[in-house]
Amino acid sequence: MAEPTVSAVILTFNGERHLAEAIESALAQTHPCAEVVIVDNGSSDRSLEIARGFEPATTVRALAANRGIGLARNEGLAAARGEYIAFLDHDDTWEPHKNELQIEAFAAADPPDLVFGHVRQFVSPDLDPEVAARLRLPSGAQPGMHLGAMLAHRRTWDRVGPWEKGWDVADGLAWLVRARGLGLREEMLPDLVANRRIHGANQSFQNHHARAEWAQLLKGSLDQRRARGEI
């Protein structure tokens, strides 16, 4: 029986400092990725040049301008050909056994729809020391309920549907809310599968005004659940 195929989709926008590490972590999987698709979302730095430096081991899709993360994710999904698809941001990395562990979870007699793993947050060495000193990160690995720690079958992505546009920082949560609204089943592995870099240029750091999206999204989800009589 053929091994399940995994597509890694890496999104980047002005990620020249850390993009190479992200790509290398996808290429170093013990269950190798069948393909690594890099979507450059209109970067103005050397991100596209760095991405193309990994060809032909990777496939690069270059968008002419940054028209939002939803468009970039949809571009990556359209390009991916694997049975399973995973997303990785340009400033994060995967542990080498991520694919292997999560594919094993899907091999169960009654497999879940979404498989997550634990995530370790770390302060990037290039972060301003004064900013770093004010951060209070969790010690050790924590359950990672976000896209960078998840793997899902292609049919699951298709079932949830195209990525919504208009979100700046809440796109991952918006997708998970939609998935849960469909009753998709989740499994959280106890293993460390991903590392999230904190460097001061993360979307959540730069877009403080957009944090209202979280409240907007959660309110909409609660309203829908009330309409369905779930709460």
- Joined together, the tokens standing for residue 71 give 């468009």
- What was the pLDDT predicted at 223? 44
- What was the pLDDT predicted at 197? 87
Among 69, 38, 76, 29, smallest CA distance to 194 is for 29
Report the predicted TM-score, pTM, of the whole model to 2 decimal places.
0.85
**Entry field: residues in the chain:** 231
* Span 73-99, pLDDT tens digits: 999 999 999 999 999 999 999 999 999
Alpha carbon distances (Å) from 111 to 49, 77, 107, 108, 159: 40, 22, 6, 5, 16
The SS3 call for residue 132 is helix
Among 183, 7, 161, smallest CA distance to 99 is for 7
Where would I find the H helices in the chain? 19-27, 47-52, 69-79, 98-106, 129-134, 154-160, 171-181, 203-206, 212-227
* Span 42-72, pLDDT tens digits: 999 999 999 999 999 999 999 989 888 888 9
Residue 220 lies in a domain: yes
Residue 70 lies in a domain: yes
pLDDT reading at 131 higher than 80? no
* Cα distance between residue 116 and residue 168, in whole Å: 23
Looking at residue 87, which CATH number applies to its domain?
3.90.550.10
Residue 157 lies in a domain: yes
Residue 1 lies in a domain: no
| pLDDT class of 37 with cuts at 50, 70, 90 | very high
- What was the pLDDT predicted at 52? 97
pLDDT reading at 119 higher than 90? yes
- What was the pLDDT predicted at 221? 42
- Joined together, the tokens standing for residue 166 give 């208009």
Count of structural domains, the chain: 1
Q: Which residue range(s) make up the domain with 62?
A: 6-227
Higher per-residue confidence, 144 vs 125: 144
Residue 10 lies in a domain: yes
